[in-house]
Structure 1
Amino acid sequence: MKNLGLVRAAAVTPVLKVANPEFNTEEIIRCMYEANSNGAGIILFPELCLSAYTCGDLFYQDLLYNKNLEGLRQIAEVTGKIASVVVLGFYLRIDNSLFNCAALIQGGKVRGIVPKMFLPNYKEFYEARWFSPGLTKANHVNSVRLFGYDVPFGHLIFEDESIDLKLGIEVCEDLWVPVPPGSYLALRGAHILLNPSSSDETVAKSEYRKNLVNMESARSICGYVYTSSGVHESTTDIVYSGHKIISENGLNLAESPLFERNSSILYGDIDYDRIKFERTHSRNFESSAAAFSTNIEYSKVALDPVRVLESGSDTLKRTYEKNPFVPSDPATVDKRCNEIFSIQSSGLAKRMEHTRSKKAVVGISGGLDSTLALLVCAETFKLIGKDPGDIIAVTMPGFGTTDKTYNNAQTIMRLLGVDQREISIRDAVLQHFKDIGHDPDQHDITYENSQARERTQILMDIANKEGGLVIGTGDLSEVALGWSTYNGDHMSMYGVNTSVPKTLVRFVIKWVMDYRLSGPSEEKNFSSDNALLKQTLQDIMDTPISPELLPPDAEGKIAQKTEDTVGPYILHDFFMYYTIRFGMQPRKLLYIAKTAFAGEYSEDFIKKWLITFYRRFFSQQFKRSCIPDGPKVGSVSLSPRGDWRMPSDADPAQWLKELEE
Structure 2
Amino acid sequence: MGRKVTVAACSLNQWALDFEGNSERILRSIEIAKVHGAKYRLGPELEICGYGCGDHFFESDTLLHSFQVLRNLLESPITQDIICDVGMPIMHHNTRYNCRVLFLNRKILLIRPKMIMANSGNYRELRWFSPWNQLRQVEEYFLPRMIQEITGQDSVPFGFCVLSTKDTCIGSEICAELWNPSSPHIQMGLDGVEIFTNSSASHHELRKADQRINLIKSATTKSGGIYLYANQRGCDGDRVYYDGCSMVAINGDIVAQGAQFSLNDLEVTTATLDLEDVRSYRGELYQSHMPSEPRLCHRIKVDFSLSSGDDVYLPTQQPIKWHFHTPEEEISLGPACWLWDYLRRSGQAGFLLPLSGGVDSSSTACIVHSMCVLLCQAVEDGNSSVLEDVRRVVGDDSYLPQQPKELCGRIFTTCYMGSENSSEDTCSRARDLARQIGSTHMNINIDMAVKGILGIFSVVTGRWPQFRVNGGSLRENLALQNVQARVRMVLAYLFAQLSLWARGKPGGLLVLGSSNVDESLTGYFTKYDCSSADINPIGGISKTDLKSFLLYCIEKFQLTALRHILAAPPTAELEPLTDGQVSQTDEADMGMTYSELSVIGRLRKISKCGPFSMFCKLIHMWKDALSPTEVAQKVKHFFRMYSVNRHKMTTVTPSYHADSYSPDDNRYDIRPFLYNTRWTWQFRCIDKQVTQMTTDPLKQ
TM-score w.r.t. the length of structure 2 is: 0.44
Give the TM-score normalised by the residue count of structure 1: 0.47
Based on CA coordinates, which of the two structures has the bigger radius of gyration?
A: 1
